[in-house]
Amino acid sequence: MDYNIIRCARAILHVKDLEASRKFYIDALGFIETESDEDHMYLRGLEEHTHHSLVLKKAENPAVEALGYKVSSDRDLDALALEFEQSGCEVKWLEKGEQHALGRALRVQDIAGLPLEFFAEMETVDRLLQRYDLYRGSRMQRIDHFNCAVSDVEAAYIFYRDKLGFACSEYTDTADGSIWAAWLHRKQNVHDVAFMNSVGPRLHHIGFWLPDQLALIHTCDVLASMGYGEAIERGPGRHGLSNAFFLYLRDPDGHRIELYSGDYLTSDPDFKPIRWDINDPMRQTFWGHAAPDKWFQEASAVLDVVTGEEVALQPAKLAQHKPTFVI
């Protein structure tokens, strides 16, 4: 391949009230505010040296503007644009300066309808990993992954594997061998993106890495003490898939955030993907407790990279156990 995608690197979420978002993301969860203006808030984790990994953008309706990946060089962007165009995907270029703190960027609607962004350059800032005096809330470290609801998981899996160079760490299949869900990575842990079978495209959640499992539990105490008890949607718990500790939260606009810690290394070239049967109850929650219905039923709308309009839902290729609705 003529390009190198390094990792998932940033997300842009539309939110209705930046002050409500500030209280949740900064005061409660402990994100670092790099910069902000009347319409944007740029946040990062304590470990991150890039300007931000999460942009909260004021808008009339909650939505996902872009899911961003960092690439090795500016030349990779041109090669990626050609690859996507040859696959029939619509692309859009953003020149340096059009996105704050970002160099030239490529945006594209992938084959599943998700709004992707690729960039090589972002302003750098001080890494705060050892500024323990700044550790608050969840002690947020870094962005880890995206989880997306798509109508055809197998098609998305094949495209990301064969065209974009992602590797599979774990997957769920059905009795006839159809892929129900897949966890794909570029960096050397379980995933940068996961695809789950549903009507789509939608963003199910963004995962952020915490330093340890106690940080998840501490987060629950902080949220409860600040009146955010209802924001806790699922967990704490341990996934069967990935083996990681998790806590799922809903922000003031309904976007779902996963706090995540403790998965494993996938760097060896002979690593073989782990298969899970769809009827195995331990795949989602190793300890056995079920997820609430809304965890399956709700997800964030995504926008068209060219028009800015909400992307229409497509029915799932495989039969659904539970329907998915849009927030």
What confidence tens digit (pLDDT) does each residue in 198-254 have? 999 999 999 999 999 999 999 999 999 999 999 999 999 999 999 999 999 999 999
- Strand ranges of the sheet holding 54-58, from the earlier edge strand across to the other edge: 32-36, 40-44, 54-58, 5-15, 63-71, 115-119, 105-109, 91-94
Q: Is 218 helix (H, G, I), strand (E, B) or coil?
A: helix
DSSP state of 100: T
Handedness of CA 108, 300, 153, 238 (dihedral sign): positive
Report the percent of the chain where pLDDT is more than 70: 98
Q: pLDDT tens-digit profile of 47-59?
A: 999 999 999 999 9
Confidence (pLDDT) at 24: 98
HSE-up (13 A, CA, CB side) for residue 126:
6
Strands 179-185 and 193-197: what pairing? Answer: antiparallel
Average pLDDT over residues 24-47: 98
Strand partners, 93: 106
Q: Classify burial at 164, counting beta carbons within 10 Å of its beta carbon; exposed 0-12, middle 13-18, buried 19 or more.
A: buried
Q: Which two tokens stand for residue 166?
A: 């992602």
Topology classification of domain 5-119: 2,3-Dihydroxybiphenyl 1,2-Dioxygenase; domain 1 (3.10.180)
Instruction: Please determine, for residue 1, whether its predicted confidence score (pLDDT) is greater than 90.
Output: no
Q: Which two tokens stand for residue 186?
A: 């570029």
Calpha distance 92→115 (Å, rounded): 11
CATH 3.10.180.10 assigned to domain 134-326? The reply is yes
Instruction: Please determine, for residue 307, whether its predicted confidence score (pLDDT) is greater than 90.
Output: yes
Average pLDDT along the chain: 95
Residue with the bigger pLDDT between 317 and 39: it is 39
Q: Which two tokens stand for residue 196?
A: 């789950």
Q: Is 133 helix (H, G, I), strand (E, B) or coil?
A: helix
Q: Is 217 helix (H, G, I), strand (E, B) or coil?
A: helix
Query: Could you give the residue range(s) of every CATH 3.10.180.10 domain in the chain?
Result: 5-119, 134-326
Confidence (pLDDT) at 323: 43
pLDDT bin (cut points 50, 70, 90) of residue 10 is very high
Q: Is 26 helix (H, G, I), strand (E, B) or coil?
A: helix
Average pLDDT over residues 50-70: 98
With residues binned 3-state (H G I as helix, E B as strand, rest as coil), the percentages for the chain, rounded to 5, are 20, 40, 45
Measure the CA angle with vertex 33, ends 308 and 24; round to 5°.
Answer: 75
Q: Which of 134, 140, 130, 86 is nearest to 108 (CA)?
A: 86
Q: pLDDT tens-digit profile of 83-117?
A: 999 999 999 999 999 999 999 999 999 999 999 99
